Structures are given as C-alpha cells and as structure tokens.
Amino acid sequence: MVFCEMSIPNQNQTERGMLFHRAVIAFLGLLCLSTLVVAQPRVLTLENAISIALENNRELEMARLEMTKADYQVNEAYGTALPTVSAAGTYTRMLKKQVFFLPARFMDPDAGEGVIPVEVGSDNSYRFGFEASQVLFNAAVFTGVGTARIYRDAAQHMYRETWNKTVTDVQKGFYGVLLAREALTLMRASLQNAEDNLRNVEVMHAQGIVSEYDLIRAQVQTDNIRPRVIEAERSVTLATNGLKLMLGIPPEEKIAFEGKLEFIPVEDVMIEQAEALVVEKNASLKALQEQTRVNEKIVTIYKSESLPTLSAFGSYTWLAENDQLGRISTNDFISTSLVGISLNLNLFNGLQTTARVDQAQVDYMKAREQFSATKDALVTGVQNIRYRLEEAQRRIESQTRTVDQAEKGYRIAVTRYQSGSGTQLEVNDADLALLQARVNRVQAIYDYTVAKSDLEQLLSIHHP
C-alpha cells in the first residue's frame, strides 16, 4: 500500500503570498496606467494653442520689455524736474603751502624796497558739505515729461499690435491644420466609396453581369484616389509641424486637435463700419500716431535750447584746517551756507540748435507721411477683406447646394449602375464631382475664416 504525502502551507504563508501577488498586480497596473498616460497625445484646442503662443512668443516678450522700458523713461523724465541733492567731502594735504608776497617794509621798517613771501594755510584741510539745485524753468524738461508719456502710450499700442498678430498667426495655423484634416477625411471617404464600388463591380463581374472594362475602370478609379489620400496625409503632417514650430512644441510630441472648421458669419455692423473702425481701433496706426506726436515734441525740445534756464541752488559746507594730521575734532569745523538763483541763456552755439530743429522737423514730416500711408493701406486692406468675406460666403452658399446635388447624383449613379441601366464611367464621374464639391465647400469655409481673422487683427479685436 502506497501513501502519498502532500505539504499544506499554513495560514500565515498563504496570506503573505496573497499580499505579495496583490502588490505585484497593483505595481503592474500602475505601470500600465502610466504607460497609457504617457502614450496619450496632447489635446490641443484653439484656445489652448493661443495661450501657449502668448506665453512663449519672443516678439511679444520683447514688446512687453519695451513697454516696461517706456515706463522707466517716464520716471526718468519726471526725475529731471525734481530737485537734485548731492554730498561731497575732500581732504587735502599741502605738500608745499601757497604763498603771497608782501612789501618787505611791512615786516621790517628798515628793510627798504622789495617783497617777501608769506605762507598761508595749513598742512591739512577738510571739507564736507551738501549741494542742492532745482530747475525753476526749462522748457525742454517739462516738454520731455510729456514726450515720455506719449512714447509709453506708443509702446503699449505696439504691445497690443504684437499680441493681435500672435493670436491671428496661431488662428491661421490652427485653421490650416483643420483644413488639412477635413481634406484628408474627404479623400478617405472618396476612397471608401471607390473601394465599395470596386467590390460591387467585382461581384457583378464574377456573375457575368458587367464587362471586364467596367472592372478595370473601377480598379483604376480606386488606384487614382490612393495617392491623393497619401498627399492629404502629408499635408496634415506639414500643417501640424508648422503649428508646433509656432507654439514651441517639440516635433516628436504627439498632438491631437479638437475642433472643426465652421462657418460663423461676421457681424454686419463690423463689416459695414470696417473702414471707420480700423482708423479708430487699429493698434499699429495708434502707435504711429503717438510716434508722430513724439517727433512733434522733439522739435519743441530742440527749439527750447534757445530759451533761458532758471534754476535755484544752495549749499551747506563744513570746513576745517590744521597742521597735525589726526588731531582734529568737531569743534575745529566751521560751517558756511549759501543760496542763489542762476539764469543761463544760449546766445550762440554754432547754429547747432538750428540744425537739430531742422532735422527734427524732417523726422516729424516723415512720421506724418508714414501715418497717412499706413492709414490708407489699412483702409484698402479692410476693403479687400470685405470682398474676400463676401466672395467666400457666396461660395459657401453655392457649394452647400452643390454638395447636396452631388450626393444625390452619386446615389443615383450607383443605383443606375447596379440596376444595369448606368455605366461605370457615370459612377466615377459622380464620385469625382462629389469629392470636388465637398473640397470646394471646405476650402470656402477656410477662406472665410482666415479673412475673418485678418479683419479682427486689423480692428485689433484681441488685446491683453
């Protein structure tokens, strides 16, 4: 008789084993979860893309720094109108004392004619004091304060213009990706139609219903669409990489885009009053206007060089002298003070002021011409955008009807061919017409959306 022994683990060993297995399973689960999280692409919306661009755009950062610099320049201009106070101290060691000459008879009545030198001063002298001055009248100072303020306003408008341009560039890049995706979707749908049709033709050819010519036509139609799908896929990749570069996203990072091209009409009031609004709101034009005012103020500043400058000044000084270095106390110092008013007037400086005024006036006239030219260009640009919007909207309306008709025509062509009353050529033509109509409609929506973004930029709709 044979007995078999079986080892039964105790309860503690079993519990430890279960805990170990649970820990391993939990660790593997976390590892898989982290892998899935890492593999998930970043979902990018238009709002997210704009936020990333505004955060990383270097031109915008430089414009912000220029605006900060303008604030500091305003503070500096105010400083020229405030009093200045300085403190100074000097120590002087006389290596050889100064002398002055007296007639010899002053020292000795019997000396007769002649002079003798007499030393003056001490070996060591000390001087400490404060000086203050305040401009009472100077046209350049007061005009400079106003000029600095105007320059700050110009810098703020330029910052807003850069902000608008950044938003518009991102919008166009994002819409370009959406357009490429829509085109790819349409190409794949057309390929799917061709492949479905090819399968039907193959079945009908096997049954002897259609000729080999129809089969060849269906195969050629399918093969001709495949390269267009590949080209559309490449367009999506190129548009995506371009947007990544604009946003500062690494090329290897995966991006998933959320959104689609939609026809959102521009408000009628904005279109009707576009010419007036662009003159009123365009940030770039406002910056040029402020720059023109700055140049006008500079002319005034240079002219003020011929005007007098009136200033008040004062000082308080402590003086002391002795012959033994180091042996000095506060009792040895005496104080002096003074106040006064000074008046300076430039009578002639080699016609430099006149030359500077002439140059400043030329810069002012150039700024005015640039402002006028920019204004005319903006008005013309708004008019062109209006035409683009109207043309794109008409295309959208027309292509929407065309797509409906093309879809209906494709269904009829397929039904006729399956019933034997139509030809494969009709199916191919109907599919091509449907694809072209869909692509044209998407392109029209894209053109309208881009024109709308250009109009918003010119009107400076976006601002910090």
Query: Is the CB of residue 409 less than 8 Å from the CB of residue 433?
Result: yes
| Structure-token pair, residue 312 | 């008040």
Residue type, 326: G
pLDDT in tens, 403-449: 999 999 999 998 988 888 888 888 888 888 998 999 999 999 999 99
pLDDT in tens, 83-102: 999 999 999 888 888 888 87
Query: Is the CB of residue 198 less than 8 Å from the CB of residue 224?
Result: no
* Residue in the structure block whose two tokens are 């006036």: 361
Give CA–CA dist 377/159, Å, rounded. Answer: 21
pLDDT in tens, 204-230: 889 888 888 889 988 998 999 999 999
Give CA–CA dist 63/249, Å, rounded. Answer: 22
Give CA–CA dist 459/284, Å, rounded. Answer: 10
| Structure-token pair, residue 424 | 């494969």
Q: Which pLDDT belongs to residue 4?
A: 39
From the CB of residue 369, how many other CB atoms can be counted at a distance below 10 Å? 11
Q: Which pLDDT belongs to residue 143?
A: 86
The H or E element that residue 237 is part of is helix 212-247
Which phi and psi angles does 320 have, rounded to 5°?
-155, 150
Q: Which pLDDT belongs to residue 30?
A: 53
| Structure-token pair, residue 35 | 């892998």
The SS3 assignment for 334 reads strand
Q: Which pLDDT belongs to residue 134?
A: 92
Low-confidence stretches of the chain (pLDDT beneath 50): 1-14, 32-38
Q: Which of 254, 235, 148, 257 is nearest to 186 (CA)?
A: 235
Considering the entire predicted model, what is its pTM?
Answer: 0.74
Distances (CA, A) of 338 to 87, 129, 130, 294, 313: 15, 11, 11, 40, 8
Q: Which pLDDT belongs to residue 21?
A: 53
